[in-house]
Chain A
Amino acid sequence: MTRVSRRTVLAAGLLLPATLRAATADSYPSRPMRLVVGFAPGGAVDLVARAVAEEMGRGLGQTMIVDNRTGASGNIASSEVVRAVPDGYTLMLGNSPQLVMNSFLFPNLAFDPARDFVPIGQAATVRFIAVVSTQSAAKDLPAFAAMTRQRPGTYGSSGNGSVQHLGTELFKAASGAVMTHVPYRGSAPMITDVLAARLDFAIDAESAVAPYVKAGTLRALATMATTRAPNLPDVPTIGEAGYGDIVVEGWQGMFAPARTPPDVLAKLGAGLKQALDNPDLRHRFDVASIVPVYRDADAFAAFIAAERERWGPIIALLGLKL
């Protein structure tokens, strides 16, 4: 329940469910909205959420408060939003692990991300870059894959079931590279070990590796996307590197609990689209190597369904259960 409804309930001395005061499109939003984020301040999701919340709040004429409910790979935030009253005042800025991977990784989830959330629209994408240490003899991906077939290597990830982990497994399957997975708590300690050449390979977000690539302390072999990163124009795309079909990206979008009224959803979708056009927001995204990408509710839903088709089998193949 949100704060204002709580006060109203208390003042009336009755425990009326807040659903009775259903929102209508003309009056919505009439009080502050809450945008739940499953990750700590400072991360990519939080950054997208705060920028979007500020602009959307301005556009809709009500404050949008970012609420960081961290823990359990974002599942704590998801379950909180799923259980909220679907009146458009509790929303979530979620990412691909929360909406796609977790439903395969955690068999005991108390909710189904596919059924219990309704997408409002995609907000952003994060590019992933494949890097090796500068001490590595490999200058391109096929050469690297061939090297590991001679002498098995290691690769790092920011945790079991992370995009880094699953993306590298995709690459292994496509290229026949032989590497052992070494999971870390988050990306920074993992990149440290790649820098020191203790790990042979890693796929990580552009913001995490680009500074080292530019400083010449890491070598980028490919951008795991269909287009090159403007920031790293010399790095080939994964298609150009010879493995056309393995696009690995992180994405973020806005979600509401299922059964949120359609007119409210439409208003939020328009607000999101407008916010993403704002140059100020685009600058903030740009600084953090986040790409603003808008997909409307229908396109986003289709995209998420495709993502499920893609990652579900890989997770099942790896036998990953958390």
Chain B
Amino acid sequence: MIRTMPKRNIARGLFLAAVALFFGAKAARYPIGNLSHAGPGLFPLLISGLLLLVAVAMLVRSRYETSEQLYVNLKNITLIMLSLAGFVLAAQLVDAALAILVLVFVAGFAAPSFNWKRSLQITAGLIVVALALERFLGLNLGLF
């Protein structure tokens, strides 16, 4: 669906390098100390340094091997993330019952076929389950 995706092994190296740089840059700002009295920055700095080495090794190796194109379906992961965020927002602003409705309907669009009736049935079923969890397990979901 996206044509300009990089090769998977290159993307992998870049992803790991990004993680290493992110943590490394932050860790460098914490007190480092020394080995006999390590500061909070020492350990993460060492680990991110090691990870950066691995990532660079992967990037170098990727020049000598063939790899498939990276495949990402942005639509599904976006919908799933939105459904979870919607759940949290709805539960915070209104109540958990509405949150379940939001979760099921937004996520429902990620399914191969969306169906109003089916989504309503799932919502109803999950609200019953949530009620049971609240009643019998004492979970403070804040359903209604």
Q: How many residues of B contact A (CB 8 A)?
A: 6
Interface residues as binary, B121-144 with A (CB distance below 8 Å gives 1, 0 otherwise): 000000000000000000010111
Residues of B within 8 A of A299 (CB): none
Interface residues as binary, B35-64 with A (CB distance below 8 Å gives 1, 0 otherwise): 000000000000000000000000000000
Closest B residue, CB atoms, query A6: B95
Is the CB of B85 closer than 8 A to any CB of chain A? Answer: no
Contact across chains for B94 and A3 when beta carbons are under 8 A apart: no
Residues of B within 8 A of A7 (CB): 95, 144
Contact across chains for A10 and B95 when beta carbons are under 8 A apart: yes
Is the CB of A146 closer than 8 A to any CB of chain B? Answer: no
Is the CB of A67 closer than 8 A to any CB of chain B? Answer: yes
Contacting residues of chain A (65-83) with chain B, CB-CB under 8 angstroms: 65, 67
CB distance from A293 to the nearest CB of B (A): 29
CB distance from A147 to the nearest CB of B (A): 24
Q: How far is the CA of A7 from the CA of B143 in the complex (A)?
A: 9
Contact across chains for A6 and B142 when beta carbons are under 8 A apart: yes
Contact across chains for B144 and A6 when beta carbons are under 8 A apart: yes
Residues of A within 8 A of B95 (CB): 3, 6-7, 10
CB distance from B123 to the nearest CB of A (A): 16
Q: How far is the CA of A67 from the CA of B143 in the complex (A)?
A: 15
Contact across chains for B94 and A6 when beta carbons are under 8 A apart: yes
Interface residues as binary, A2-26 with B (CB distance below 8 Å gives 1, 0 otherwise): 0100110010000000000000000
Interface residues as binary, A29-72 with B (CB distance below 8 Å gives 1, 0 otherwise): 00000000000000000000000000000000000010100000
Pick from A3, A7, A65, A67 the residue with the most CB of B within 10 Å.
Answer: A3
Closest B residue, CB atoms, query A67: B140
Residues of B within 8 A of A3 (CB): 95, 142-144
Contacting residues of chain B (3-36) with chain A, CB-CB under 8 angstroms: none
Residues of B within 8 A of A67 (CB): 140
Residues of A within 8 A of B94 (CB): 6, 10
Contact across chains for B140 and A65 when beta carbons are under 8 A apart: yes
Residues of A within 8 A of B142 (CB): 3, 6
CB distance from B95 to the nearest CB of A (A): 5
Residues of A within 8 A of B140 (CB): 65, 67
CB distance from A265 to the nearest CB of B (A): 24
Closest B residue, CB atoms, query A2: B142
CB distance from A307 to the nearest CB of B (A): 29
CB distance from B98 to the nearest CB of A (A): 8
Q: How far is the CA of A7 from the CA of B144 in the complex (A)?
A: 6
CB distance from A217 to the nearest CB of B (A): 31
CB distance from A161 to the nearest CB of B (A): 15
Residues of A within 8 A of B143 (CB): 3
Closest A residue, CB atoms, query B98: A10
Closest B residue, CB atoms, query A68: B140
Q: How far is the CA of A65 from the CA of B135 in the complex (A)?
A: 13
Residues of A within 8 A of B144 (CB): 3, 6-7, 10
Q: How far is the CA of A295 from the CA of B1 in the complex (A)?
A: 68
Pick from A6, A7, A65, A67 the residue with the most CB of B within 10 Å.
Answer: A6
Q: How far is the CA of A122 from the CA of B95 in the complex (A)?
A: 33
CB distance from A179 to the nearest CB of B (A): 16
Closest A residue, CB atoms, query B97: A10
Q: How far is the CA of A67 from the CA of B95 in the complex (A)?
A: 17
Q: How far is the CA of A7 from the CA of B96 in the complex (A)?
A: 11
CB distance from A70 to the nearest CB of B (A): 12
CB distance from B63 to the nearest CB of A (A): 45
Q: How far is the CA of A67 from the CA of B141 in the complex (A)?
A: 10
CB distance from B137 to the nearest CB of A (A): 12
Q: How far is the CA of A10 from the CA of B142 in the complex (A)?
A: 13
Q: How far is the CA of A3 from the CA of B94 in the complex (A)?
A: 10
Q: How far is the CA of A65 from the CA of B142 in the complex (A)?
A: 12
Instruction: Write 15 A-B pairs (CB below 8 A) sorted by A numbering.
Output: A3-B95, A3-B142, A3-B143, A3-B144, A6-B94, A6-B95, A6-B142, A6-B144, A7-B95, A7-B144, A10-B94, A10-B95, A10-B144, A65-B140, A67-B140
User: What 5 A-B pairs are tightest by C-beta distance, nearest first?
Assistant: A7-B144, A6-B95, A67-B140, A3-B142, A3-B144
Extra contacts, 6 of them, besides A6-B144, A65-B140 (Cβ < 8 A), are A3-B95, A3-B142, A3-B144, A6-B94, A6-B142, A10-B94
